[in-house]
Amino acid sequence: VIDYQVKITKEDYKDVLTFDIETKEPSEELRSRIVDSVSHIMGIEQGLEEDLVDIPRVNFVEPGTMEYAIKAKKIIDERGSFD
C-alpha cells in the first residue's frame, strides 16, 4: 500500500466506509485483509453488529493517482450535519 484515503458516507441509515487504496499489487487477498482488519476496530465492529455500519468497501487505484501532500486528509466525512 502506497497511500490511502477513507470516505465516510451515509446510505439510508447506515454509515459506509469506502477505502481508496493506492497500490502496485491489488488483489482480492489484500482487499479481504483490509476489510477484516477494519471490521475488527472496536467502534466499527460494534456498528456492524448493530447493523448501523455497512461492510467496509475497498477500491484500488493506480500508483500516482492520489495527490501527495504532507498533511493530506486521510479521512473525509461526507455524511453532512445531523441537526
Query: What's the chain's length in residues?
Result: 83
Which pLDDT value is given to residue 41?
Answer: 96
pTM tops 0.75: yes
* pLDDT tens digits, 13-60: 999 999 999 999 999 999 999 999 999 999 999 999 999 999 999 999
Task: Calculate mean pLDDT across residues 6-15.
Answer: 95
What's the pLDDT score for residue 42?
Answer: 95
What is the predicted pLDDT for the residue at 80? 82
Residues whose CB is less than 8 angstroms from the CB of residue 5 and which lie 6 or more positions away in sequence, other chains included: 19, 20, 66, 72, 73, 74, 75, 76
Q: How far is CA 74 from the centre of its chain?
A: 10
pLDDT at residue 69, rounded to an integer: 67
> Which phi-psi region, left, alpha or beta, contains residue 47 (left: φ > 0; alpha: ψ -120 to 50)?
alpha
What is the C-alpha separation between 29 and 49, in angstroms, rounded? 23
